[in-house]
Chains A and B, each alone.
Chain A
Amino acid sequence: MKVPSVVIGGGLSGLAAAIRLARFCPDVILLEQHTRLGGLNSYYYRNKTLLETGLHAITNYAEPGNKKAPLNRLLRQLKINRKSLVFHQQKTSEVRFNNQESLLFSNDFSLLNKEIALKFPGSTSGFHRLCSFLDDFNPFLPAPFRSAKQYLSETLDDPLLVDMLLCPLMYYGSSIENDMDLAQFAIMFQAIYKEGFFRPGGNIKDFLTILSDHFKSLGGTIRLGVKVTRIHHTQGSISGVLLDTGEVIECDHLLSTIGLQETRKILHLEESEEQHQRLGFVESIYQVPADAISTLPSDRTVIFYNENEPFSYQQPDDYADYNSGVICLPYNFKNLNTSATVEVRSTHLASYTKWKETRKNREQYAEVKNAVRRNSLATIEKYVGKFRTNIVYEDTFTPVTIERYTAKKHGAIYGSAMKIKDGDIGFKNLFLAGTDQGFLGIVGSMLSGVSIVNQHILPKF
């Protein structure tokens, strides 16, 4: 069969790209190797409840009237009416460096301003300089890597504040160790501090259903459980894809959202060299009955904690690095409907190699998973209070779990350290969007899909 365009990967960037294409050329096929959509932001069922795999919070909250905000631009591009969606804003989040300092932030940027004035009075004018610099800075212009850490150190003149500001931005979207590109920092600063966190009404499955129904209503086709084993190409031009069923789909335009190395693999090209390690993460979910909520914080949505001096964000040699991490309390978004159970989630950096090695022995792997979850629990209880006796269900996913379900190399949720910002990987009619293009987070990855389609495919139709 032959269609004008095929999108590989049913994660959020692939779905957004497919919707954007289908708006103007309905014959789009979206291929997903897993039996469910969502990629990193999917779901599974355990203990008679739906558990989300990736979603802590969506960044880039914006009020409906704010036309220039990334969230509203995205919805316009997808032709999804903002008014048809229900969004719940966060309460308050916190960066807590144990025994050092704590900074609160919310969707009202003035809170962070006040916190910095109060706790880092010497850096107040530096922080204002940073904000005005970011207001005039265009992070989307092509530019070589520039160290955000160095820029911040020069501007703020306080290493603790530098690390505290970087910590949430790194945990929610940095694929490189101990630093960020200044452009990426600028995007994330706006996404997390200036705009802030929200959740869609219901769960991630409902959100994915809105997107997939919209795509289908525009005439698009979704095929789940089909793996692309080969991309056929000659002289820098794609002719189609071969599926694991043996079927060939020919196409004029192909968009891959599965990652750079993952795409090169099915092009049968050598892996390009990677200078940096991929960062692995381990996440645990602790489910407690809703009536046990009273022992947990009632006004913290996400806590980014650190106990290391100085803070480090790098691949550990061990199963998990408990010295820092993210604690998410997904019940602390405003105006949520009550449910029977609520969750506490924890995330730490983890060594893929270590988990991969251990996976060879199923029993040992299960034991280590349990031990890691217990250690994580002991750590996060320091921040949210004791709740272990109330846990009714708990689960952990490792870099190996993530790799198995999402096919992301080494289970690295933020992909390769090297990003292909323009999506051009050397082919006339194959482009890259999603994680390895470089816009991260749910809004970021969806804008990635949309902008690569806008830039490379729509003008050629």
Chain B
Amino acid sequence: MTSEEIKDLILEIIEDIDDEADFDSLNPDEPLRDQLDLDSMDFLDIVMELRKRHQLQIPEEDYPQLASLNSCVRYLEPLLKDA
């Protein structure tokens, strides 16, 4: 997956969690949770969806690396390079 595809994947997952999520003013370097009003329970959905869709096992200690859209891309790019 390219970095753009990974961004789309994350946004698609978030849209699936909250169909009213507003991406227009999303800053890719700021935490997703604050900008989109997501809580830790919603955040777990992102992790679980990545597992379901791409069989990715993301250990709990790595969750902070998924904080912003750009940090998601940095973390997921090597893991999804063949996806």
Contacts and interface: CB of A to CB of B under 8 A. Distances in A.
B44 interface: yes
Interface in B54-83: 60
Contacts of B45: 76-77
Interface stretch (A145-153, A281-289, A451-459): A451-459
A68 interface: yes
A459 B60 contact: yes
B51 A461 contact: yes
Interface of B is mostly: helix
A451 B41 contact: yes
A67 interface: yes
Interface residues of B, number: 13
Interface string B30-63: 0000000101011011001001100000001000
A67 B48 contact: no
Interface of chain A, main secondary structure:
helix
A385 to B, nearest CB: 45
Contacts of A461: 51
A67 B18 contact: yes
Contacts of B4: none
A450 interface: yes
Most buried by B among A23, A67, A451, A461: A67
A73 interface: yes
Contact of A458 (B20, B39, B42, B48): B48
A306 B44 CA distance: 45
B60 A24 contact: no
A68 B45 CA distance: 16
Interface in B3-28: 17-18, 20
Contact of A24 (B17, B41, B42, B51): B51
B18 A458 contact: no
Contact of B48 (A24, A65, A76, A451): A24
A73 B37 contact: no
Given A67-B37, A68-B39, A76-B18, A454 B44 contact: yes
6 contacts: A23-B48, A67-B18, A76-B17, A76-B42, A451-B41, A454-B44
Interface of A: 23-24, 65, 67-68, 73, 76-77, 450-451, 454, 458-459, 461
